[in-house]
Amino acid sequence: MKQFNVPNIYRSPLISAIKQQRKQDDKLKKDYTPTLLDLGPLQIFLARHFGFCYGVENAIEIAFTTIDENPGKRIFLLSEMIHNPQVNANLVEKGVQFLQDTYGKQLIPFEEITSEDVVIIPAFGTTLEIERMLNEKGITTAKYNTTCPFVEKVWNRSEQIAEKGYSIVVHGKPKHEETRATFSHASSHTPTVVVNDMAETIELAKYITGEKPAEEFYTAFKGRYSEGFNIEQHLQKIGVVNQTTQLASDTQAISDYMKNVFIKQYQLTAETIGERFADTRDTLCYATNDNQTAVTGMLETMADLAIVIGGHNSSNSSHLVELCENQLPTYFIDSADRLLNTKEIEDRNWKTKELKQVSGYLPAKKPLQILITSGASCPDAEVEKVIRKLAGFYGVEEKVTTLTHAFSAL
């Protein structure tokens, strides 16, 4: 796989050495057991896969190269390039300005940008409407487009099945940048509707089976369907694609549910299901799937708590929290600064995004066992900072350096 030129401030000698060693020992990526960092009174178990994915490293490389190659020019990002506070703060420090926030709210009017400016498209991609508007202004988008290749894969697959007459059901968070972009691309080829979760999928299926009157659809799914969408015509032949940072298991469950609805509704068999339901399993992002599977493997290890590191608005990080908290106390932080001391932590609620100070998060036992993972947009350097801060609470930070040398020597 391609190696990207990512600033060293995001790298970690410890994490790099661990990942390299695990890669050598498990080339086929079949071992999902975590890596133990035994620090004596503190034992940390690192997930097999975590941190920067291919798409994120690609985006970071393009963004920082763009800054270096355009001195004196105004450089804008359509929105946060990735959902990580440290990376976005670093870009702002270098003069990059955001045109929109995460939810598409305009921060700087598009009218203020000119053909002399540089506009970077974030890793989530953007809508065809925005891309067209930028091109009409004379702004070259192709050169500064950091859209993740796996997001583009979803778009391409949507186009392919659209050509065969399928409508598209997008599994995604309706307000998320990537979902808005995927909806735009898919709906330019075929009727498209967005579902947020299984509950909405079940409701959508009732319009297929006739359990709900068609006219109710337009209110229940307002703002979620493409122009001219006809509920009585456009859900007779579908394919399900997803926002790549959703839980892969959730997307598969939604796809399986809809598939079974079609089998019953149209009396289909394994041989004839393709007439009305497209196979889109190949659109699931490998990195999202690897990170989630690694968390499942990590959770087989007995531990006292889990810490997930990632931006508060990071969808893939939130789903890692969701997986962990089903089994043990879990804390969602965006930096080591959230570890206030041995008694208190600033924890982010992954559902409400509320930040709350929690007391007594570290049980008084030795050895204390902690599971740690991070989202796909979290730098490895931040993971090491969290490890070192926890080690410092127990007076064993020097052991982290010793482990770094040990892993590097393997």
Q: Which residues are catalytic?
A: 178
Q: DSSP class of residue 149?
A: H
The Cα–Cα gap between 281 and 402 comes to 43
Residues 14, 384: contact at Cβ < 8 Å? yes
Residues 383, 372: contact at Cβ < 8 Å? yes
Helix (H, G, I), strand (E, B), or coil: what is residue 126? coil
Helix (H, G, I), strand (E, B), or coil: what is residue 381? helix
Helix (H, G, I), strand (E, B), or coil: what is residue 128? helix
Edge to edge, what strands does the sheet with 167-171 contain? 192-195, 167-171, 238-242
The Cα–Cα gap between 85 and 313 comes to 9
The Cα–Cα gap between 244 and 151 comes to 7
Cα 264 to Cα 257, 258, 261: the distances in Å are 11, 10, 5
Cα 130 to Cα 123, 134, 174, 335: the distances in Å are 15, 6, 17, 33
The structure tokens listed for 257 are: 């549910």
| Burial readout 207-244 (b: 16 or more C-beta within 10 A, e: otherwise) | bbeeebeeeebeeebeebbbeebebeebbebbbbbbbb
Say which residue the tokens 């990942």 belong to.
19
The structure tokens listed for 211 are: 């359990």
Angle at 258 between CA 252 and CA 259, to 5 degrees: 85
The Cα–Cα gap between 356 and 350 comes to 11
